[in-house]
Chains A and B, each alone.
Chain A
Amino acid sequence: MTDIQIQLDRVADDAHLLDVRDLFIEFHTRDGIAKVINGVSYHLDAGEALAVLGESGSGKSVTAQAIMGILDIPPGKIVSGQICYNGRDLLSLPEKERRQVRGKEIAMVFQDALSALNPVFPVGWQISETLRHREGVARADALRRAVELMELVRIPAAKQRLRDYPHEFSGGMRQRVMIAMSLALSPKILIADEPTTALDVTVQAQVMDLLAELRRELHMAMILITHDLGVVADVADRIAVMYAGRIVEHADVHDLYAVQGHPYTKGLIDSIPRLDHKGQELATIQGLPPSLMDIPRGCPFHPRCPYRKDPICSTQVPTDQRLASGTRTSRCHFAKEVLDGTAA
């Protein structure tokens, strides 16, 4: 019985579209070794949207770069782990095959569209470039396809704007151009790394709406990387919260915002000022995030944690604790107590 159960689990595991397993990444720098990713696992199914949330230095972008295969090696080094796409480990593929995956199966949108686009070529040329090089589409056909892609991301008067240069577009429109480029080869997974951080609130709302619509229309899976708890609230299905290169909490969006199972997530949500009332003094997380050259022993969050209990928290690294709904996990020795509100 249990054997069958294990086998079933394995089959289910293999069925994930993307499966990151126990990833460890280091950066070798002049000052020493920075342990940037310390055992990250997450998965993504077709058509699903996962938000990866973390502050600067938490490792959220590095994980995405490793998935895309655009991590700078050196100084970066993938120590161990697997990144499986459709059951194949991308990390063991030769570069030639890896290139077939990049852009075509998994594509990426970057934060700063102005520096990600080439300033000396018209946008139409840049969007169609992928089609010409990767698919061997003729120039005129590729441009026609570029117009369709620009219409898909709701750029008004797409045909007239084909020959415009990136600087002739506003911030929001430039981000749409980036999205159009990433969609050129109809990827199954779109990774968006802080796609709206450089944009104003009203434009940010437009771009997030667009991403949500595209996901539905194209039945595309999405990884949204962000530091802003608000931005992903109605686009993502699940959220993984990262701290010091680990996923500390992983839950369904509604569950996570309703009640938190890790002291760090709880601290983050409590420390945001609210729009609907003025509120009293803000709750804070004391101290600073750790240096990745010198991550604290035991639970990496213990020096800042209000629920810390010694000696367990300062000596033992917590493993994932399964919580209530089954898929929900928290890397805290007292996860259940934090979730129930009985932790002291």
Chain B
Amino acid sequence: MAPQRETILRVENIAKYFPITRGIVFQTKIGEVKAVDGVSFDLAKGETVGVVGESGCGKSTLARLIMRLEHPTRGQVFYQDRDIFAMPGSALRRLRRNIQMVMQDPYTSLNPRMTVGDIIGEPFEIHRDVAPRGDRRRKVQELLDYVGLNPEHISRYPHQFSGGQRQRIGIARALALRPKIIVCDEPVSALDVSIQAQVINLLERLQNELGLAYIFIAHDLSVVRHISDRVAVMYLGKVVEIGTEDEIYGRPTHPYTQALLSAVPVPDPTARAHRDVIRLEGDVPSPANPPSGCRFRTRCWKAKPICTEQEPPLTAQQADPHLSACHFAELRHVVA
């Protein structure tokens, strides 16, 4: 929340293309899926940047790139002004301490044959200087307590916990090395409503107490608004609009953002009657064969010939100074 403007992570024009191949022995490349195609943003210390978009928009690939789990086709990610893809092994090992990840599915992201103590303590096995061997058990129990689990359950296995508790284990594991940044990829989408709020509150408390920065990827726009300081809206591998939480939700200028906000089911039938209804036609096109020019034009009600020919740049608009990539950007208040 507080405007500490010290940039900790900078993503510059990053892209990841996955090849589409034919054949098994003699593979020939017949095309590529442009999962992420030129994304730039930065993240300040203690800040939360939310990334929203529908399936196939590249938000998870973006997370994997920032984690250096994928190598980019082009572009860079700078952690404190050092390119993470140019780092030698020793520096990379230190980097891993500073950027950690919480996965979406708490059922498959924890090894069922390891105890909770082993799962949370595993990072100490690799980064031995963080916690000396004799001290590990105590450290793990502290972490368990810190994320709201019973420290006495250190010897239990993942299947003995509920979904929400497992997600807390995943968060404890991510916290073990005291990172500066946590990339959260859909951390609450597998959880029931009443449990979701508990985990969101936990993430917010940890941020306040430890000064963590989050990259929070989710498809639930209400959750993203609640937790984020700034929000990036992605469509087919590109950021189409980015701004503060207030700008994106209160003053959206890109038609896709407006349609997305309009489609969110709001649990209030009375408020819904007054809402601006925008219904998009069809589905998201395949990222293997994205439309020319503006990628959103095939579903856009404002599309004109220029949209087919020219890709709109992500720039400040006359309608509102935050960045939006549309030839015909204009304000529209979708959320009451």
- List the interface of chain A (C-beta within 8 A of B): 55-56, 170-173, 200-206, 208-209, 227-231, 233-234, 253-254, 257-258, 267-269, 271-276, 278-279, 281-285, 288-289
Contacts and interface: CB of A to CB of B under 8 A. Distances in A.
A203 B268 CA distance: 20
23 contacts: A170-B282, A171-B283, A172-B283, A173-B283, A200-B219, A200-B283, A205-B279, A227-B192, A230-B267, A233-B268, A233-B269, A257-B270, A267-B194, A269-B267, A271-B197, A273-B222, A273-B225, A275-B225, A279-B226, A281-B204, A285-B194, A285-B197, A288-B162
B73 interface: no
Contacts, number: 124
B223 interface: yes
Interface residues of B, number: 46
Nearest to B223: A273
Nearest to A231: B265
Contact of A273 (B164, B200, B284): B200
A208 B267 CA distance: 14
B67 interface: no
Given A202-B260, A283-B197, A276 B335 contact: yes
B159 to A, nearest CB: 13
A275 B335 contact: yes
B263 interface: yes
Given A273-B200, A282-B201, 20 more contacts: A55-B192, A56-B192, A201-B54, A201-B219, A208-B265, A228-B193, A231-B265, A233-B269, A254-B269, A258-B270, A267-B194, A271-B194, A271-B196, A272-B222, A273-B225, A274-B222, A274-B226, A276-B271, A284-B198, A289-B194
B265 A230 contact: yes
Interface in B175-227: 192-198, 200-201, 204, 219, 221-223, 225-227
Interface string B245-262: 110010000000001111
B263 A201 contact: yes
A176 B305 CA distance: 32
Choose among A229, A269, A278 the residue with the greatest number of B CB atoms under 10 Å from its CB.
A278
A276 B54 contact: no
Contact of B201 (A205, A208, A254, A281): A281
B266 A254 contact: no
B160 interface: no
A283 B193 CA distance: 11
A229 B193 contact: yes
A285 B227 CA distance: 19
Contacts of A56: 192
* A-B pairs, 4 with minimum CB distance: A230-B265, A273-B226, A271-B197, A200-B54
Interface in B284-336: 284, 335-336
Contacts of A228: 193, 265
A275 B192 contact: no
A201 B222 CA distance: 12
A38 to B, nearest CB: 19
B44 interface: no
Contacts of B272: 233-234
Given A208-B265, A257-B269, A275-B266, A55 B283 contact: no
Contacts of B266: 230, 233, 275-276
A71 to B, nearest CB: 23
A200 B266 CA distance: 15
A273 B264 CA distance: 12
Contacts of B54: 200-203
B200 A282 contact: yes
A257 B267 CA distance: 7
A272 B267 contact: yes
Given A268-B193, A284-B194, A205 B263 contact: yes
A229 B336 contact: no
